[in-house]
Amino acid sequence: MHNVSFLKVRGYDGLVRDSSTGAIINTNKAEYNHYLKQKKLVEERKSQIEQISKHSEDINNLKNELSEIKGLILQLLNK
């Protein structure tokens, strides 16, 4: 097993660098929790936008179908 040590990142109190992998690690729990909340909000917003887009597409399809039905009814009335 290798010895892991962390080096402070200059200018950032909540960040350290893993000396064996070079990875930057956030040690500030409050910032991490804030990040997770923001990520969840973005995912929820994306889901809402996708739902709105789907509903809009469904509405447009219904409008087209109603227009076709109207055209067929007018054709029947004109015969």
Residue type, 3: N
Q: What is the CA radius of gyration of the chain?
A: 28
Rounded CA-CA distance 24/9 in Å is 8
Q: pTM value? A: 0.60
Tell me the β-bridge partners of 21: none
Q: What is the pLDDT of residues 5-39, one digit of tens each?
A: 999 999 998 999 999 999 999 999 998 999 999 99
Residue 2: predicted pLDDT: 63
Residue 79: predicted pLDDT: 82
Percentage of residues of the chain with pLDDT beyond 70: 97
Element (H, E) at 25: strand 24-26
Domain ranges of the chain: 6-78
